[in-house]
Structure 1
Amino acid sequence: MGFVITNHLCDLMPGTTQADASIVVAPLSHGAGIHQLVNTARSVKTIMPRSAGFNGDEIWSLIERWSVTNVFTVPTIVNLLIDDEAVDTYDRSSLRYIIYAGAPMYREDQKRALKKLGPVLVQYFGLGEVTGNITVLPPSLHAAEDGPDVKVGTCGFERTAMQVSIQNEKGGMVKSGETGEIAVCGPAVFAGYYNNDEANAKAFRNGWFLTGDLGHLDDEGFLFITGRASDMYISGGSNVYPREIEEKILQHPAVDEVAIVGVPDPKWGEVGIAVCTANTAIDADALLAWMDGKVSRYKMPKTVQFWPELPKSAYGKITKKLIKAQLVEQGVIPSAQKDTAS
């Protein structure tokens, strides 16, 4: 934990001192709890909102009152904060670091946040098993506009003293740009799952911890996450990674959120279903027509559904397991698939 705290201070919020202030806007049972230990190590004051749930006006008013400098949160809560009208009511000039993790942040959401808040976003990729320490994308590498030098979709480079590799199914290192499983080693990696030899045998290989996430490294060592291995589906013999398609769909101005899941199909083996929330009326045919030409034909979702909201975990992450469960209830997925949904 001493290493983790030092690592967070080096990579996520350098220059933090007792003059800083932090506000809690995410459950302390997860990464936010680690973040508060980091603040405590530097005698940073922590502000706890009174509201039991999200209250944008309260959060922004406390940021002004206490001159809050750092926040740990997840992309869903970042979106709620910038969409709340109170964001323009209170002074937020003290903010230096809004650190987000726990789920990928879609590019369109990044742009909105940067245009509203300025260069304060810090992304990190990590898991509980490595106490949040894998990669970092600092404020200087977040860009509000796309350009030839902007690495769209990256979650950053290796954290201090941590190592990342992309491996094939046999444990071999794949070439730059090739997709494989993301593996990590270093001082933040846990010793193993308690009293669970079977889980440890699956999680560790040749000294590397296997994250279960898929991705690739570019020539400069920046990591790009394709998605969870369990999210990938095979359509017509080709691997389909939903995140790439979700990024495209979110570029449509009517779409607020989207999750794509693979479901059985008698012809193609599996096909994708896109489940969206929308801010204005749009039908499935119109969205699919708009998508035509933006992704390869085999990657196109077969159908689109619009729901009032997408199910989320207590930590604010869209939960595809619950989406699949609802599709089972609708009869879209055979009930036998329910137990294997992930």
Structure 2
Amino acid sequence: MRFTFISSAVALVASTMILRGAEAQQLCNGYAELCAKTYDQVVYATTHNAYAYTPPGALAANQNNDIPTQLKDGIRAFMLDAYNLPSGATNDIELCHSYCSLLDAGPLSKVLGQFKTFMDQNPNEVISIFWENAANLTPARFQSVYQAAGLTPYLYTQTSGSTTWPTLASMISSKKRLLNFVDSGADASVPWLMAEYDFIFETPYQITKGSEYPCTIDRPKGQERGMYVMNHFISGQVTVGDQTFDVPQSAIVEQTNGPDLASHANKCTETFNKIPNFVAVDFYEQGSVLQTVAQLNGVSWNGQAPTPAAGTKKSAAAGKIVGASSVVVGLAAAAAAAAFAL
């Protein structure tokens, strides 16, 4: 009887230790299976114009949720646009969409502070940022803002020309888990601000309603790289004077981010013989973006549903415009007139 009791106790302790071991299993970007994969073998849910979420319902907005919410929901790559501050000061960078009078999301320093908070509190996450250097800013401008935000310890650098990437687990272990790519202006003075097209190509980004989703190499033109961005968002073209603007199409996003997304990803995987690394979308919380990314990664979706947007349902005709310039006012009128034709 005593032997049975001891055996039962040992079995209970063993099972408890196994359970605790399973609970303590490292997760990398939310999944244990991703830890052993190298950075270039992983698919990342990516928000197009991640900063363009304010004011709610703005015609030029590409997202409904702010960046802290995007991070919480599982977005792991972010597309940002760099502009000069409207004041002309050089101690920060402004996040704007096409023109700061069209959509101005404020200074980069605020957003980098949000990234810093998240990364401090979530040590098992690898984050990527894609910069459209719209104002041709120098790498030194970026470096000063990143340093002020306290992000320097997290910055990862990949040697140009290298095709060997570390695993997510090793990046997490080294704490070098924030990657930054810039479309133009990179130089050796700031090595962590990496030239995007040395490592990555992109599929076309100007996709209009009703057109076929492309799986061709748009940038750098005709030059394949080890990784790629699959741009997957629908825009309506609106022209005011000699300026053409892309207006996000939120009314069809359930289809765009649902069946169309899976179909586009399958098509590009077959075309390029490799999965897309960065799946870039508008209004990520609608459709099945996170489920599709999990499937591409070969893992069972963890069930973490994205945060629903609060009262920001909008159409191109009803969208709001920020700013009072004649260009912006004209854009609002043109977009409203064009909405019914898209």
**Does the pair score TM above 0.5?**
no
Q: Relative CO higher for 1 or 2, CA cutoff 8 Å, sep ≥ 6?
A: 2
Structure with more strand by fraction = 1
TM-score by length of 1: 0.26
Q: Which has the larger radius of gyration?
A: 2
